Amino acid sequence: MNYHQPVLLKECLEGLNIKPDAVIVDVTFGGGGHSKAILAKLSAKGKLFAFDQDKDAAKNVPDDKRLTFVPQNFSYMKNFLRMYEAPQVDGILADLGVSSHQFDEAERGFSIRFDASLDMRMNQGGEKTAAKILNEYEENKLKQIFREYGEVDNAGRLVKLITDARLLTQITSTGQLKEIITPCIPRFKEHQYLAKVFQALRIEVNDEMEVLKQMLQQSLEVLKPGGRLVVMSYHSLEDRLVKNFMKSGNSEGEQQKDFYGNIHRPFNIITKKPITPSDAENAENSRARSAKLRIAEKV
């Protein structure tokens, strides 16, 4: 089985607009599908820096002198590029979310399909797990997470079931969690509801929104003028953040004006609307369905 089938591969490569001697950053290496395709477009003078905090991803790194693999979270992008004497680059690619491998490894706890420990850490050395959140976070904090990160309508009822259950016993497995929250799952919508609950926990465990904000902010410093920012997201929270940032240079989407009242636009937007996978790609790879690709060029 493939570690991860790259989504919108052709569109990502076109979006990066790769010159043979370019310096490119793939901040989400994963199975290396996008990275290998980028390397195929680079000459001997080109360079690729690839980031991934998941130790399983390191097993996929090809033996190629042009590739520098950084086993770290991409929120450290700017610091490591400076360390490797590549403070400015021609393109940044981010394929956000969870890889197929992470979903398919039952013990990682990402998938609603398996009964596994409530882990959900992308960095397996991290201290915060989904179990820790469910058992230790106070009620209002839990409600906020499920409302903001999962867009769960009945977050209050959901959290009440969780906090009542944890008074009796520690919540440690995905199966146990599913059983506890069954009374608040809408009829005929079990899959969608559980997906939202798991998404909210995963985002909190990995601090995904904050990390994404940091990487986007760093891209302003790291990209050369004319450099491309290519970001693929899989849920509306990420997509909104990326859209706002490309439009305004900040995560809130607030237009900044200079002394003369001219609107400051750090990027030219290449994709007026996000690129989504074709029906053929969706049929071949069901995990492509929710992908939205946005591309911008640094002014």
Per the CB < 8 A criterion, the answer to whether 92 and 229 are in contact is yes
pLDDT surpassing 80 at residue 264: yes
Tell me the pLDDT band of 2, cut-offs 50, 70 and 90. low
Q: Which residue has the tokens 């940091």?
A: 214
Give the pLDDT of residue 1: 41
On average, the pLDDT of the chain sits at 94
- For residues 236 and 97, is the Cβ–Cβ distance under 8 A? no
Sign of the CA dihedral 284, 288, 294, 295?
Answer: negative
Tens of pLDDT, residue by residue over 134-167, are: 999 999 999 999 999 999 999 999 999 999 999 9
pLDDT tens digits for 222-245? 999 999 999 999 999 999 999 999
Assigned CATH for 9-100+208-298: 3.40.50.150
* Mean pLDDT (whole number) for 194-211: 96
Report which of residues 103 and 297 the model is more confident about: 297
Pick the CATH number of 103-206 from 1.10.3720.10, 3.30.43.10, 1.10.1040.10, 1.10.150.170: 1.10.150.170
Average pLDDT over residues 88-103: 85
List the domain boundaries for the chain: 9-100+208-298, 103-206
Q: Report residue 285: phi and psi, to 5°.
A: -140, 95
Q: What is the pLDDT of residue 112?
A: 80
Q: Look at residue 195 and tell me whether its pLDDT is greater than 50.
A: yes
Q: What is the predicted pLDDT for the residue at 91? A: 98
- Of residues 14, 6, 15, 59, the one with CA closest to residue 35: 6
